[in-house]
Amino acid sequence: MKDERKNLLQAIKFTLFSISAGIIQMSSFALLEIFIKDYWIPYLISLVLSILWNFTLNRRYTFKSAANVPIAMVKLFGFYLVFTPLSIYLGELAENCGVNDFLIFIVTMLINFVLEFLFCKLVVYRGKEDTLK
């Protein structure tokens, strides 16, 4: 029961921090879209900003991990090494088919949210949760 409660609390914290990162990502994307018409450039810049924000908050408050920060960042970088080109490629395909940029953006953010939580929980902080004092 304790593990279930801990996992639920982590999911709630991750969700709240991801919402704040999403606001940063969406705001920066919307601002950049005014000046840069290609989908992938505003998307990539806004994604990097949200990753840094989300990583910092979730390492400290959600997973409470004292894991080596550079190693944890490299692991997360590995996730985004796959996710980012794939999401840019699929986003460009959808845009070329006439799908609204913001609809593509929101769907991509939702997929990212779920996959990143699982990756952090099962790979980045596995065995290193609750080690931050």
Instruction: Give the C-alpha separation, 9 to 6, whole Å.
Output: 5
pLDDT digits (tens, 9 = 90+) for 23-71: 999 999 999 999 998 888 998 999 899 999 999 999 999 999 988 999 9
CA–CA gap between residue 112 and residue 131 (Å, rounded): 26
Q: Is the pTM of this model over 0.85?
A: no
Query: What is the b/e burial string over 101-127, where b = at least 16 CB atoms within 10 angstroms of the residue's CB?
Result: beebbeebbeebbeebbebbbeebbee
Residues of the chain with pLDDT > 70, as a percent, come to 99
| Number of Cβ atoms within 10 Å of the Cβ of 60 | 13
Q: How many CB atoms lie within 10 A of CB 6?
A: 12
Residue 133 has pLDDT above 80, yes or no: no
The residue extents of the domains of the chain are 2-124
